[in-house]
Amino acid sequence: MGTMCCLAFLIFDQKQGTGEAKMYVLTVATSMPNSGAEGMCAGLTVVFDILCNPRSQADCEEKSEAAGLLAQITSPWLDPPMDDAQAGMCGTNGDLQPNPNGAWPTLHLTPYISSFIAALTELSSQTETEETLLLSTAALANLTFSHSEAVQLMTKYRTAQVLVQATSFRKELSVFIQDQIATILANMAAVYSARAELVSHGALVTLVSFLQLRPSPMQRPAEVTASERVLKKSAIALSRVCGEENAARQIVDLEGIERLAQLVRDPRERNYSDGVLVACLAALHKIATACGTEEVDRRGASDLIENRLLDVFLEYSSRPESYV
């Protein structure tokens, strides 16, 4: 067993210190540039035990730290500190095993993936703190990128329903949590069999409400950037779901056309983001295809779908300023 794996088990074998403090130490340890795949495996083993072991005595704080560590391990932006020939995969005992494909350990979570999604969904439904919700949704979002089966498992465990309820129960939700939830819903909407689940559990209401975000010069740069991502991903999710007429008509009833058109026409509403512009135009075209152009015309947005897409894009894509 490697150094990082030994460290993981030594940390959790100590009698002193709180569980969340130990998780924090392990999180820091696995984030070090030289921790490598070995460190990821060590963290993965501990996270599984805390989040998924029914005999675990972990409290909400420990589970929150475990979710944060899982989000860190599965980050799609993680830079490998080794070349492909050195990379490995985790064995069930936490040891580093040879990986003939030279891929990151995050790609070898298959034995854990179902349990992780079930546990993270449950944590998202039970937590009352925004910090824990952010960490659990970040881990779920990362899993939708790294594992193709993640969306089907989220359908099984009703993850969309939990996330929709989490947004409706809170009057104000951090833009960073909205970013993670919009990512999950957009990636779920990319899978045809999951779209009915999204519609039935009220995800369209959540997505249209996310479109109401307005980047502001009063926000920090990170918040402005996150707001742009929320707008873009929400529009992408809507365009994917509204291939079905029933879903498209729900978006119409929620006044989604009006907000999408406003985001196209007023660049300040989207912080002059061309990415948001393209996503909104795509959503409007999909709604028109599903419901007919009359619905779009009735709401004064016919020019956005009748003219050539490139012409509309060029007309509204000027970027004289930005809040970032």
**pLDDT at residue 308, as a whole number:** 86
Residue 258 belongs to a domain: yes
The answer to whether position 178 is within a domain reads no
**What's the pLDDT score for residue 318?**
66
User: What pLDDT score was predicted for residue 172?
Assistant: 86
Q: What is the pLDDT of residue 225?
A: 95
In this structure, is residue 93 part of a structural domain? yes
Question: How large is the average pLDDT for residues 158-165?
Answer: 97
Would you state the pLDDT for residue 11? 52
On whether both 312 and 199 belong to a single domain, the answer is yes
pLDDT band, very low/low/confident/very high, at 259 (cuts 50, 70, 90) = very high
144 shares its domain with 197: no
**Statement to judge: residues 2 and 147 lie in one domain:** yes
Q: Supply the pLDDT for residue 1.
A: 45
Residues 121 and 23 grouped into a single domain: yes
Q: Is the residue at 174 inside a domain?
A: no
- Higher pLDDT: 319 or 220? It is 220
By residue count, the chain amounts to: 324
Q: Is residue 199 located within the same domain as residue 136? A: no
147 versus 318: which is more confidently predicted? 147
Work out the pLDDT band at 113, boundaries 50, 70, 90.
Answer: very high
Does 194 share its domain with 279?
yes
Confidence class for position 36, pLDDT limits 50, 70, 90: very low
* pLDDT score, position 83: 41
Q: Say whether both 153 and 253 belong to one domain.
A: no
Pairwise CA distance, residues 38 & 44, whole Å: 10
- What is the C-alpha to C-alpha distance for residues 195 and 312, in angstroms, rounded to an integer? 29
Number of structural domains the chain divides into: 2
Question: Rounded to an integer, what distance in angstroms lies between the CA atom of residue 204 and that of residue 223?
Answer: 23
**CA 94 and chain centroid, separation:** 27
Average pLDDT over residues 203-227: 94
The amino acid at 16: Q
Single residue among 140, 157, 174 that ends a domain in this structure: 157
Confidence of residue 279 (pLDDT cuts 50, 70, 90): very high
Q: Would 196 be classed as within a structural domain?
A: yes
- Is residue 167 in a domain? no
The band of 6, judged by pLDDT with boundaries at 50, 70 and 90, is low
Mean pLDDT score, 40-52 = 77
The tokens for 69 are 């560590």
* CA angle, residues 27, 32, 38, in degrees to nearest 5: 80
**Predicted local distance difference test score (pLDDT) of residue 92:** 39
Are 22 and 114 part of one and the same domain? yes
> pTM (2 decimals)?
0.83
Residues 6+ apart with CB under 8 A from 195: 188, 189, 240, 241, 243, 244, 247
Residue 100 lies in a domain: yes
8 A C-beta contact, residue 281 and residue 240: no
Is position 179 within any domain? no
Residue 42 and residue 80 in one domain: yes
**What integer best gives the mean pLDDT of the chain?**
82
User: By mean pLDDT, which of 22-26, 129-133, 250-254, 304-308 is the weakest?
Assistant: 22-26
Are both 306 and 209 inside the same structural domain? Answer: yes
Question: What mean pLDDT do residues 10-33 have?
Answer: 51
303 is in which domain, residue-wise?
A: 186-324
Indicate whether 23 pLDDT > 90.
no
- The residue among 23, 52, 36 whose CA lies nearest residue 112 is 52
Rounded to an integer, the average pLDDT of 281-292 is 95
Does residue 142 sit in the same domain as residue 197?
no
The pLDDT score that the predictor gives to residue 324 is 52
Pair 235, 107 in one domain = no
Say what the pLDDT of residue 42 is: 58
Residue 100 has pLDDT above 90, yes or no: no
How would you label 22-41 residue by residue, b for 16+ Cβ within 10 Å and e otherwise? bbebbbebbeeeebbbbbbb
Tell me: pLDDT of 307 over 60. Answer: yes
Mean pLDDT over 18-31 rounds to: 53
Given this model, what pLDDT does residue 87 score? 37
Cα–Cα distance measured from residue 78 to residue 72, given in angstroms and rounded to the nearest whole number: 8
